[in-house]
Chain A
Amino acid sequence: MPKILDQRRLVPNLHLLEVHAPEVARKCRPGQFVIIMPDERGERIPLSIADWDVERGSVTAVFLVVGTSTRKLAALKAGNEVPVFVGPLGRPSEIASFGTVVLAAGCFGIGALWPTARALKAAGNKVIAVIDAKADYLVYWKDRYQSVCDRVLFSSRDHALASKDFIPRPLEDTLKAEAPVARVIAVGCTYLMYACAQATKPLGIKTIVSLNPIMVDGTGMCGACRCTAAGKTKFACVDGPDFDAHEVDWEELFIRRKSYFDDEVRSLCRYEETELP
C-alpha cells in the first residue's frame, strides 16, 4: 500500500500530503488529480495534484480539511499507509505559449495551480498570479509563486495584504493593467471559480477552471461527477477536470456538490465522537 512521506498543516485547515507513488509521479502533468481512500472504510475522494518528484517517487496534494475523509487524511503521519492512491487521472491542463496568462488561486487551488504556473513559465508565458485568502496568514507557497511568476498579487478580507477585497476586483484590475491577457486559469473553491468566471466574461477573456464535483471511481465508470458544459453533460473525471468557465452550468455544480450534505454532517459527527484520534 502507498506510504505517506509527509502530512502536515500548511496553514489553518489546509494540509499538505506527500505520498510515495513512483509510478504515479512518473506520469503527472499539471491539472491532473489522484483518487485517494484514507482507510479501508473510507470514501474514494479526488485531490488535485500540487507537486511531484520523480526521483523521490512522490506525489503531493494540498487539501482543505472539511469532512470525514479529509479529517482522516489530516490525522495521518509519515510512515502510515493508505489503501488507495491512484492516478494521475483527468486530462492534463493545456500548456502552450499563450502570451500573458493570469492565474487566480485560492484555498487548495494555490497548491493545485502551482504545477501549471511552473509549466506556463517554462513554456515562455508572462505569468501573473492573483492569490486569494481570507487573511494573510492563510497564504502559503508565496515564495514558490514568486520564484516563477512575473508578478504575484494578493487579495484578502483583512488589511494585512495589499488589496482588501475578494478576488474578482483585483483580478479585473490586473486584467486591465496587463491587457491583452490571453487566458485566465482559476482554481479553488467552487465560489471562487464562479466569481472569476463572472469577472472575466464581460471582458471576453478565455477562462479555464478545474471543476471539483463529487467522484467515486474517477475513470469514467460511474458518472457521479457529471456536470454541464456548453449545454452538454460531461464527466469531469475523463472529459475534464478543466473546462471553459463561461460554458459551465454553475448552479448545477453548486447543487450537485452539496448532494450528500446531511450525510456528510452525520458521518463527521460520528467520526468525531467515536474515532477521532
Chain B
Amino acid sequence: MAEEKKELAPELKEKLRAEFEKDWRKDLRKAVPPKDRMKQVRQKMPERPAGERNKDFKEVNLGLTQDMAQAEARRCLDCANPQCIAGCPVAIDIPSFVKLIERGEFLAAAWKLKETNSLPAICGRVCPQETQCEELCAMKKASGVPVAIGNLERFASDFERLSGSINIPPLLPPTGKKVAVIGAGPAGLTVAGDLAKLGHKVTVFEALHESGGVLIYGIPEFRLPKAILKAEVDYLRRLGVDIRTSFVVGMTATIDDLRNDGYEAFFIGSGAGLPNFMKIPGENLVGVYSANEYLTRVNLMRAYAFPAYDTPVFQAKTAAVIGGGNVAMDSVRTAKRLGAERAVIVYRRSRTEMPARTEEIHHAEEEGIEFQLLTTPIRYFGDNYGHLRAMECQKMGLGEPDASGRRRPVPIEGSEYTIEVDLAVCAIGQSPNPLIPQTTPGLKMGKWANVEVDWATMATSLPGVYAGGDIIRGGATVILAMGDARVAAAQIDKYLRR
C-alpha cells in the first residue's frame, strides 16, 4: 500500500544545495578529510544494563553525550548529493542538522529539525532509521556502518528541551480559517503543527483523555518517556494549536456538525484503533488481551502502579505475546517488567521476517525474553473459572513468498504441543477504527476498511477532508503517518487559500 521512495522536489534540492554551499559547511568539509571521517567508529548508544532495566519502566537508552554526538556527526561525509533525505518520509535536511552538531551548534541543529518535523524527540526514539535515512547513508555503502542519524536527532532535540530555550518559529499571519484535526496521534499532531505555522486556527479532537495517540497508549515509557511526549505537545500548544481531549468525532460531533460550526478543512488521523484477533478457540478467556488493551492499561491508565491507580492488569507467571512486530516487543518487555518469570514471543515466521526493529529485538533478548519462532497458537485452554491456563501451539515451516514478499508460514501436521501460560497478548496487528467511516456519509472506503485517499494529495472523496496515517494504511509506523501528514498539511493550506 505504501508509495515508492520519492525523488526530492526541485525546490527542496535547490534549498539543500544553498545550505551545502555555505562557507561554514565548506570549511567544515575541509577541516577533516573524508578518509579520516571514515576511520571513526560509530558511537554506541549508552543504555542501562539489561538486568536492571527489565525491572522498571525507566528509559532504556540514555542518549549520546555532547562529545559522542560531535564525534558521530563527524562521521557524516556531507555528500554533495545526499541520499539520506530521500529515505526520510518528512524529508528532514539531515546533512544540515548533523553538521550543526559537528560544529557544536546544538540548538541550531534542533531548530533545523523542527523546520520539517514537529516531533523530533519522538522520531529520534521510535523511527526505524535503519530502513530509512540510515539505509541510504553513503557511510553505509562505504563502510557498512551508517551515520547514527536517529541518535543524533534525539540528541539535538533533547538538548533543546533540557536547555529550556524552546524556539517558537515565526508564524504566518492568521488566515481566520478553522481546521479540525481528528486524532492527536503522530499524524494529527504533525498536521496541526504545520498548519498552525501557516497561520490557520487548528483544533485537534482526541477521543482519549491524553494527547499522543499510539505514542501515549501504545509505546511504553521505557522506549518513549511521557515527559518527552508532553514537551512536544506543549510546543504545539505554544504554536497556537487547541487540543480538545475526550471528544469522539463521529459520536460527540460528526464531521458535518463540525462543518456547520465553521470548520473548513478536516484531517482524519484516527488511527488503526481496532485490534485484530486470531479467531481461535478460547480467545475470549480471561487473561487473553489484545496488545492495545494490555498496553493501554499499563501506559495510559498506569496499571503498573495499581492499586495507587485504579486500573488493574494481570500479573503473569508466564506471558506469551503473539506476533513479531514492535507492538509485540513492547508488550513482551512490559510483561517482563511487570514481573513475569517467563515472557515469550510466539511468532509464526523466522527471525528474518520479524517486522520489529532490530534494536528492539536485540533489547528484548538482552532482557531475557524467550523467542519461540516458527510457532503459532491454535487454541487456548482455561481453568474452571474461565481463566487462561495453557496454550496449544503448532510449529510452522516456511513456504513460498506471499504478497508481502515474506515467506508464507505453513503449519506442520503433528507438531502440536502445549505450554502453560497465564497471560496471552495478541499483537498481530490492527484495523482502521470504524467510528469515523460509519458516521461520515459519502466517505469512500478501501477494501481493508481503510479510508481511501489520493496518495499524491491525501485527499479523501469528500471536499476539504484529508486523511493520513493508520486510518489509510491500516497499521504502519509513526514516521509514515507523519509523512502523510506533511503532504496533507501542504494540500490543506492550498485548499484553504484557493
Contact = CB atoms under 8 A, between A and B. Distances in A.
B209 A83 contact: yes
Contact of B207 (A69, A219, A252, A259): A219
A76 interface: no
Given A43-B301, A267-B312, A223 B252 contact: no
A224 interface: yes
Given A23-B253, A27-B251, A233 B283 contact: yes
B433 A270 contact: no
A270 B312 CA distance: 13
B284 A220 contact: no
A189 B253 CA distance: 30
12 contacts: A41-B302, A41-B309, A43-B310, A86-B248, A87-B252, A88-B252, A223-B275, A224-B293, A252-B386, A255-B385, A259-B286, A267-B312
B247 A219 contact: no
Contacts of B251: 27, 87-89, 219
B307 interface: yes
Contacts of B286: 255-256, 258-259
B175 interface: no
B296 A86 contact: no
Nearest to A2: B246
A263 B314 CA distance: 9
A83 B209 CA distance: 8
A42 B217 CA distance: 16
Given A41-B309, A89-B251, A219-B435, 20 more contacts: A23-B247, A23-B253, A27-B252, A68-B310, A83-B209, A85-B246, A86-B252, A216-B293, A220-B274, A221-B273, A251-B386, A252-B284, A255-B385, A255-B386, A256-B284, A256-B286, A256-B386, A260-B312, A263-B306, A267-B312
Given A217-B207, A226-B284, A259-B286, A233 B246 contact: no
The 7 A-B residue pairs with the shortest CB-CB distance in the complex, in nearest-first order: A255-B386, A221-B273, A263-B312, A222-B293, A86-B246, A223-B290, A43-B310
B388 to A, nearest CB: 11
Contacts of A236: none
Nearest to B279: A233
Interface string B246-289: 11100111000000000000000000011101010001101001
A215 to B, nearest CB: 10
Given A221-B296, A222-B296, A41 B248 contact: no
Contacts of B310: 41-43, 68-69, 267
Contacts of B302: 41
Given A41-B308, A69-B310, A84-B246, A217 B208 contact: yes
A217 B296 contact: yes
Interface residues of B, number: 38
A220 B207 CA distance: 11
A118 B32 CA distance: 81
Contacts, number: 111
Contacts of B131: none
B311 interface: yes
B209 A24 contact: no
Nearest to A260: B312
Interface string A56-96: 00000000000011000000000000011111110000000
Contacts of B29: none
Interface of B: 207-209, 217, 246-248, 251-253, 273-275, 277, 279, 283-284, 286, 289-290, 292-293, 296-297, 301-302, 306-312, 385-386, 433-435
Given A220-B435, A226-B284, A260-B312, A266 B246 contact: no
Contact of A216 (B252, B283, B301, B309): B301
Contacts of B252: 23-24, 27, 86-88
Interface in A119-149: none
A259 B275 CA distance: 20
Contacts of A24: 252
Contacts of B293: 216, 222-224
Contacts of B284: 226-228, 233, 252, 256
A238 interface: yes
A44 interface: yes
Contacts of B283: 233
A37 interface: yes
A267 B308 CA distance: 8
B434 A89 contact: no
A69 B312 CA distance: 12
A266 B248 contact: no
A222 B435 contact: no
B397 to A, nearest CB: 29
A259 B253 CA distance: 33
Interface string A196-219: 000000000000000000001101
A84 B209 contact: yes
Contacts of A88: 251-252
A221 B246 contact: no
B248 A43 contact: no
